[in-house]
Amino acid sequence: MFDSSVIELSKAALNRNLRFLRKEIGEGVRISSVIKGNAYGHGIKPFVPLAEQCGIRHFSVFEASEAYQLMKYRTNPETEIMIMGFVDSDGLEWAIENGVSFYVFSISRLESALTMARRTGNPARVHLELETGMNRIGLREEELEQARKLILENYDCIKIEGICTHFAGAESVANYKRIQDQILDFNRMDRKISESGLKIPIRHTAASAAALSYPETRMDMVRIGIAQYGFWPSKEIEMQYLLHNKNAGNHKQAPDPLRRVLRWSSRVMHVAQVEAGEFVGYGTSYMTLRPQKVATVPVGYSHGFRRSLSNLGRVLIRGKRANVIGLVNMSMMSVDVTSIPSVEPGDEVVIIGKQKNSRITVGSFSDMANLINYEMLVRLPSDIPRVIVD
């Protein structure tokens, strides 16, 4: 009622995406829904129960604060939570007390988990993250024996949930050799761990990119982030899939199986007629060359519509594209609606999404702002209302 824009989340689109992903990766492979970065801008609070309605029972987050939010908003107490990144000592204690699993990527972290497990009287549920070539975080091969001893000597305090790794750029063929080396390293370390006497329930290495491009990485579980929201991890992977699945009979490219879950819209706030030779908005970045009709939209860079889109961005009004003119302000922007008849205050303005037969994609939106779609999505402010639509 009071907000200048709204983000809609489509249940039908999410259901479709998950059906496609389950078909691609195989029914026996579990999907962990990755909701870091405020569910990639979709909002943890609305997205978690929506995903649960669509059959998701395992979520991955980056940090303990996201896990805490997830626990508040989940509707099924059996829904599992896994922290892939940052947890301080207080967060570690909370995670162990609440049965939240987390990555162990160093000996010191394993020792901290043991200390907290003894303090709480609950076993720490851990996933051993292996360093296979990302050179970021992860247990190195020479640390496995020390980790094994600590775990076996404290088996009542540690519950091994799985082993995992992360690939260094599976979304690009340029990293093919590096990914293949990582797969070999993971498999070798996996054998070493298994032969050492540790039982591993779940092996998981693939995020969206690897799950779609490297079938051998799917294993027991995949961590799906960007793809569940309806976006390809990269243009390369999208084209690889569409060309590989083209109709053999007519050689046409296959239709895109993914549907965007998110749609962002606002309303026309004001419409004005501006004579030729006048500047629009702050400064002199845009001057009318003919009489123009200008609509004001109550969305600006405080809402996530970047200032760099001044005189570049586009929106949809009445199914037609309208160019952003002049500087994008903190809370408003101006668009040229001269060629769109009868525009009036209250008309819907689509910033990302579909209107009639036209669409503004996150890809085109982010390309103009010189951002990848991941970054564009997570920059959407959390205070824009998110609503679920069928």
Tokens of 303: 């809402």
- What number is the average pLDDT over the span 258-286? 97
Which structural domains are found in the chain, ordered by start? Answer: 11-244 (3.20.20.10), 262-360 (2.40.37.10)
Beta carbons of 70 and 78 less than 8 angstroms apart: no
Band of the pLDDT at 105, cuts 50, 70, 90? very high
- 246 classed as catalytic: no
Give dist(CA 304, CA 380) in Å, integer: 5
Residues 6+ apart with CB under 8 A from 138: 105, 129, 130, 131, 132, 165, 166
What are the helix (H) ranges across the chain? Answer: 11-25, 36-40, 44-53, 64-73, 89-97, 107-120, 144-153, 176-195, 208-213, 235-244, 362-368, 373-378
Instruction: Look at residues 328, 382, 385, 387 and name the one whose alpha carbon lies nearest to residue 4.
Output: 385
Beta-bridge partner residues of 292: 274
Instruction: Look at residues 23, 25, 46, 26 and name the one whose alpha carbon lies nearest to residue 35.
Output: 46
Tokens of 76: 């099924």
Say what the pLDDT of residue 243 is.
Answer: 86
Say what the pLDDT of residue 341 is.
Answer: 86
Query: Residue 248: is its pLDDT beyond 60?
Result: no
Say what the pLDDT of residue 376 is.
Answer: 87
Beta carbons of 287 and 294 less than 8 angstroms apart: no
Tokens of 110: 């394993």
- 103 classed as catalytic: no
Say what the pLDDT of residue 251 is.
Answer: 58
- What number is the average pLDDT over the span 79-87? 97
Name the active-site residue from 36, 103, 286, 374.
36
Give dist(CA 350, CA 12) in Å, integer: 19
Compute the mean pLDDT over every residue in the chain, rounded to the nearest whole number: 94
Residue 318, SS3?
coil
Give dist(CA 81, CA 345) in Å, integer: 45
Distances from the Cα of 291 to the Cαs of 29, 33, 294, 327, in angstroms?
60, 51, 10, 19
DSSP letter at 331 equals: S
Phi, psi for residue 198 in degrees, rounded to 5: -85, 135
Residue 315, SS3?
strand
Give dist(CA 220, CA 265) in Å, integer: 39
- What number is the average pLDDT over the span 68-74? 97
Beta-bridge partner residues of 317: 320, 349
DSSP codes joined into one string, 21-56: HHHHH-TTSEEEEE-HHHHHTT-HHHHHHHHHHTT-
Which tens digits make up the pLDDT trace of 343-376? 999 999 999 999 999 999 886 666 666 667 888 8
Residue with the larger pLDDT of the pair 253 and 57: 57
Distances from the Cα of 132 to the Cαs of 165, 168, 187, 201, 308, in angstroms?
7, 9, 10, 20, 38
Instruction: Look at residues 388, 318, 327, 385 and name the one whose alpha carbon lies nearest to residue 349.
Output: 318
Which tens digits make up the pLDDT trace of 184-222? 999 999 999 999 889 999 999 999 999 999 999 999 999
Say what the pLDDT of residue 321 is.
Answer: 96
Which tens digits make up the pLDDT trace of 300-349? 999 999 999 999 999 999 999 999 999 999 999 999 999 998 999 999 99
Gyration radius of the chain's alpha carbons: 24
Say what the pLDDT of residue 27 is.
Answer: 86
Residue 356 CB neighbours (<10 A): 10
Say what the pLDDT of residue 184 is.
Answer: 98
Tokens of 361: 């994609």
Which tens digits make up the pLDDT trace of 106-156? 999 999 999 999 999 999 999 999 999 999 999 999 999 999 999 999 989
DSSP letter at 254 equals: P
Band of the pLDDT at 244, cuts 50, 70, 90? confident
Which tens digits make up the pLDDT trace of 154-174? 989 999 999 999 999 999 999
Query: Residue 249: is its pLDDT beyond 60?
Result: no
Say what the pLDDT of residue 253 is.
Answer: 66
Q: How open is the CA angle 294-297-298, to the nearest 5 degrees?
A: 145
Stretch (H or E) spanning 164: strand 158-164
Name the active-site residue from 176, 235, 282, 356.
282
